[in-house]
Structure 1
């Protein structure tokens, strides 16, 4: 169990050790970077959870000031992304980061102030450095979100260098 910055723990139970073939890709096998044993590597089937209590800054009322005090869609997306991000971080090498590249999330229902919301992301595909998660979000009464989220594992130094180069190009153009 790993604790994140939001309320609540992240759980990473170990999946079944055997992989299966699905649509031409080997699933259930460890990611390709170095580690001492299977427990040090990401595997298909790992599930991570993140829980948050809905407070006023997280509500739709903050977006359009119309008194809609339910968790906003951007905050639901943020919860899912943080769940996956903080779940995989302990498995990465010190020189690696993961960056979000895609979110496809349906917001199925409103969650009022004070209620707790839990995102659960399950790693369903590892394609080299690309990680695909199935996401479900539940409040204390029902499912309020579902979808997919993709992350890409990058070399932290090279990624930062590309961002700095882009910033320099922008500064010199303007």
Structure 2
């Protein structure tokens, strides 16, 4: 599959999350604040990116995160609402690039770029020795 045949610049998706305790820095690192953890924000950005294009992939094809360039701009407490967005900004044969952002009720809390690689799931698993 060539991503340029199915994925178009401007495709987008968003995700909503109420921050649970198990996605905070304090959950992972003792004595740290119970605020939304940067890796968890990046996870939501990756998932929004995948959501934006998954319906357009041929059967048997998936995307995997390959690059992140993210800034975490502001903290969000447990119970805070976070909206994460992803928009396709470039499409290559096997790489799709996204602009990603995250917002809480007050402001933008994260921004950056993310890339996903297009792979055939069966071939990928076979190369790993798992299929």
Question: So what's the TM-score if we normalise by structure 1?
Answer: 0.70
Q: Which residue of 2 aligns with 1:124?
A: 89
The answer on whether the counterparts of 2:82 and 2:105 sit within 8 Å (CA) in structure 1 is yes
Deviations along 1:1-53, one digit per CA (max 9) or x if unpaired, are xxxxxxxxxxxxxxxxxxxxxxxxxxxxx822xxxxxxxx3210112101111
Decide which structure has the larger Cα Rg and report it: 1
What is the distance in 2 between the residues matched to 1:110 and 1:164?
41
Rounded Cα–Cα distance in structure 2 between residues aligned with 1:66 and 1:154: 40
Aligned to 1:103: 68
Equivalent residue runs for 1:93-172 within 5 Å: 93-164=58-129
User: Mapping of 1:21-40 within 5 angstroms?
Assistant: 31-32=4-5
**Structure 1: runs of 5 or more not aligned:** 1-29, 33-40, 166-174
How many residues are treated as equivalent by the alignment?
Answer: 129
CA RMSD of aligned residues (A): 1.6
Q: Secondary structure at the match of 1:42?
A: coil
1:107-150 residue CA offsets vs partner (Å, 9 max, x unmatched): 00100111110111110000112100001110111000000000
* Deviation of the 1:67 alpha carbon: 4.5
Q: Secondary structure at the match of 2:129?
A: helix
Distance 2:7 2:95 in 1: 12
Tell me the residue number matched to 1:91: 56
- In 1, Cα distance between the equivalents of 2:17 and 2:129? 33
| 1:55-93 Cα deviation digits (max 9, x unpaired) | 100111012121511100110110101111122111111
Q: TM-score, normalised by structure 2?
A: 0.92
Hey, what's the Cα distance between the residues in 2 that align with 1:95 and 1:113?
A: 37
Uncovered stretches (5+) of structure 2, i.e. residues with no partner? none
